[in-house]
Structure 1
Amino acid sequence: MSALRQFKGLSNALRTVSLARSASTAVPARASIAARLAPRAAASASRVAARAFSASTSARSEGSSDAALSAKLQEELTYEETNTEGAAPGTTPEFLKAFQEQGIWTIVETQGSDEVTLTRKFGNEQIKLVFSISDVDQNQEDEFPTEEEDGEMNEDQPFSYPIRTSITITKPSSKGALVIDALAQDGAFLADSIAYYSDASVANGAGAEADWARRGLYFGPQFAQLDVAVQEEFERYLSERGIDESLALFIPDYAEYKEQKEYVSWLSNVKTFIDV
């Protein structure tokens, strides 16, 4: 019995020594792993900080020419707003005030669009006239009065930019529409063609589908090919509906005015984009 007890005591002592050795070797192992991971964690944190710094510095343009371009845009913007009638925000030129006071035509236009629409009612007719400011000719050589045959300048003859117009006349009592294409210039409408559509939706339609529906339709002869008496009656017909000399003078003026407004808006928008 004493020998057996001695053997068990020796066995327990050996187990205790073994566990102590295991514990002493395990702790340095864990410390070694932590030590190996520490440089990686520091490098990762450094990369995150670098990315954050890079993002913050690229949020604003740093081009060397930005400041100079912005200054020139502001210089041009100030000049246009100061020296052009109606270009400054909140101002309206006198010719436009006089036109609006007549209360005949309603102007429909959207900032950023180059298309302008004038609408009015005449009896049971709805009249719509559309033109584009892209027709404004900026060539300085075209801004002088015309020269007469004797070589002298005719300063009394009105001058204006030629603007293409499309005039549509519809009636609720008819499904059809009359469409007149004409040039507004020098206080007159010069008709090019007068087309009749049996379906007004085809005449007023926009897009590829409407263009396809208009293909192959007979639009009538060129206005100049009509009998002179018929031409004269058509001119009276249009004049009675307010498509006359005063409107032909207003349209080029308004096209130039809107083109100037759009240019000023463009300068402002581009400058803002450069500055941010």
Structure 2
Amino acid sequence: MPKVSLEKVHKQISKKRGVLNIMHENSRDAHRLRKAGARVDRLSRHNHTVNRARQPYMDRIEYIHEAVQEHTEALTTEQMTEFVAQYIDRDTEEIQQLQSERRKGRPPSKREEALKERVQTEDREFTTGLWMPDLSDQYALTGMKNWNGHWSGLSAIKFIRFTKDGEKLASTFPPKSMPPSPPTLLSLPPASSRPPPLKVRYIYPKRTYPCTSDPRHCGYSIWTLADLSISSTGDVELLAKLEDELKHEKSSDIPEFKEQQEVIQEIIKANEWQVKDVEGEQEVVLSKKFGNEKISVSFTVADIQNISEQEDFDEASLSDDMGYQNKDGQEEGELPEPSFPARVNVTIEKPTNGAVLIQAVVQDGVFAIEEVSHFAKADLAAAQTAEKDWTRQSLYAGPPFENLDEDLQSLWERYIEDRGINAELATMIPDYISVKEQKEYLRWLENVKNFVGA
């Protein structure tokens, strides 16, 4: 998606302003700086999330890359099982050494606990399917031996999920549990970053009545007092400002806005979602079929109000923006702040078994499940009426998700990932909210402008 970098915006504004390198906080240049800075922050947050999620897989791939150098032919199922077992037990000697060095009665060190937890996690993954290259495929084996050490260099290698029973389950690169890479990041400036119009143009009502007290001199043959629109100076100024704001919004970032919509539509089409998006309504519903299940994902534009104050800058910060800033657009050592969270309700219905309602929050490309509830009647999960909503509130909703066993939490997360409720969707939803909010804001401006000018 074509974007103007923060450094380029600095140069453009400095060149235009020359020696007088100052600006008003509500000027268009200040708005451009806020927008470019917000994009740098958002990309940095996303990179931080992706790199953190990618690191365990990178460690695994580096181990496999070193271990397969001695192999010239594709591995059999038995050899792959032994290979994975050796991989999981690679730190056994260190664990035993740490245990022997620990005095009797002393608690284990953090290093020992971390290694044991990693072994348990990988062993559980091996039970259901460990994500790895398909070393039984000669091309995949050769690709791993010749791997260049970069994450992108794995895209041409076949990956599977290999189980303890020797079963090879189809998988993808990157694994579904990871957030999408930065190029798929969708971004649109939120409504809170809109600056007020730069000026007010004073206009006069287009409708005039060239009449005097004598009806015979009127431009119309018949008229009544009810036909006249009485407009005060305040009405005229309000109408002018509404028109100015509407014009400004329509002319701002039109190519980026259109491309934003195209990317969202590509994701929806690729995952076979049906969209219910009614003009003038806040709620959006995505739905699709998965076997005999009916899945719906609903969210609302109102959640854009959860955007933090991170994009609000005072004059001091704007002055700093015009000066030196490091390459990543952040102060050294500063941790990126999270993007705005959006609440999502996921409903999964089965013909004769009711429905499950999964309440979650999406943020930074992650679905954070808060509660999983089952209803014998599927219509209670949606609760379209006040009566059904009241009935649903009286039923047991299940324990808080964070109180569940960690293995159970992981399996629920994988359950929804298999149904397309994944990191790509979690990244798209906040951006869909931003796009829809922009459309609704333009529609609102048009409606109130027509009302005031009528």
- Fold shared, TM-score > 0.5 on shorter chain: yes
Say if 2:237 is the partner of 1:68.
yes
The residue that corresponds to 2:225 in the other structure is 54
Equivalent-residue separation in structure 2 for 1:201 and 1:138 (angstroms)? 29
Deviations 1:3-42 (A, max 9, x none): xxxxxxxxxxxxxxxxxxxxxxxxxxxxxxxxxxxxxxxx
Corresponding residue to 1:83 among 252, 255, 259 = 252
Equivalent-residue separation in structure 1 for 2:226 and 2:390 (angstroms)? 51
Structure 1 residues 152, 93: closer, same or farther in 2, change over 3 A? same
| 1:1-276 correspondence runs (5 A) | 53-57=224-228, 60-85=229-254, 93-137=261-305, 139=307, 141-143=309-311, 151-154=333-336, 160-172=339-351, 174-276=352-454
Query: What SS does structure 1 have at the residue aligned with 2:241?
Result: helix
Quote the offset at 1:87 in angstroms: 9.4
Equivalent-residue separation in structure 2 for 1:106 and 1:252 (angstroms)? 18
Structure 2 gap segments, 5+ residues each: 1-222, 313-327
Quote the offset at 1:217 in angstroms: 0.8
Equivalent-residue separation in structure 2 for 1:216 and 1:243 (angstroms)? 28
Structure 1 residues 143, 170: closer, same or farther in 2, change over 3 A? farther
Contact 2:359 2:372 in 1 (8 A): yes
Equivalent-residue separation in structure 2 for 1:227 and 1:85 (angstroms)? 48
Structure 1 residues 208, 74: closer, same or farther in 2, change over 3 A? same
Quote the offset at 1:118 in angstroms: 0.6
Contact 2:357 2:374 in 1 (8 A): yes
The residue that corresponds to 2:209 in the other structure is none
Query: What SS does structure 1 have at the residue aligned with 2:356?
Result: strand
Equivalent-residue separation in structure 2 for 1:86 and 1:168 (angstroms)? 35
Structure 1 residues 253, 160: closer, same or farther in 2, change over 3 A? farther
Contact 1:81 1:87 in 2 (8 A): no
Quote the offset at 1:269 in angstroms: 0.4
Equivalent-residue separation in structure 1 for 2:450 and 2:300 (angstroms)? 27
Residue type of the alignment partner of 1:163: A
Structure 1 gap segments, 5+ residues each: 1-51
Contact 2:355 2:378 in 1 (8 A): yes
Residue type of the alignment partner of 1:66: D
Between Structure 1 and Structure 2, how many residues are aligned? 217
Contact 1:146 1:153 in 2 (8 A): no
Contact 2:383 2:392 in 1 (8 A): no
Quote the offset at 1:230 in angstroms: 0.1
RMSD between aligned residues: 2.8
Quote the offset at 1:140 in angstroms: 6.0
Equivalent-residue separation in structure 1 for 2:428 and 2:375 (angstroms)? 28
Equivalent-residue separation in structure 1 for 2:288 and 2:392 (angstroms)? 25
Equivalent-residue separation in structure 1 for 2:372 and 2:395 (angstroms)? 13
Deviations 1:188-234 (A, max 9, x none): 10000000001112222322210222232111101000000000000
The residue that corresponds to 1:6 in the other structure is none
Equivalent-residue separation in structure 2 for 1:71 and 1:198 (angstroms)? 56
Quote the offset at 1:142 in angstroms: 3.3
Equivalent-residue separation in structure 2 for 1:68 and 1:103 (angstroms)? 48
Deviations 1:57-82 (A, max 9, x none): 3xx23222222211111111111111
Residue type of the alignment partner of 1:77: L
Equivalent-residue separation in structure 2 for 1:239 and 1:78 (angstroms)? 42
Structure 1 residues 239, 91: closer, same or farther in 2, change over 3 A? closer
Quote the offset at 1:161 in angstroms: 2.4
Structure 1 residues 97, 168: closer, same or farther in 2, change over 3 A? closer
TM-score by length of 1: 0.71
Equivalent-residue separation in structure 2 for 1:225 and 1:193 (angstroms)? 10
TM-score by length of 2: 0.44
Query: What SS does structure 2 have at the residue aligned with 1:136?
Result: helix
Structure 1 residues 228, 140: closer, same or farther in 2, change over 3 A? closer
Quote the offset at 1:56 in angstroms: 3.1
Equivalent-residue separation in structure 2 for 1:197 and 1:147 (angstroms)? 47
Runs of 4+ in structure 1 deviating by more than 6 angstroms, as ranges, are 144-148
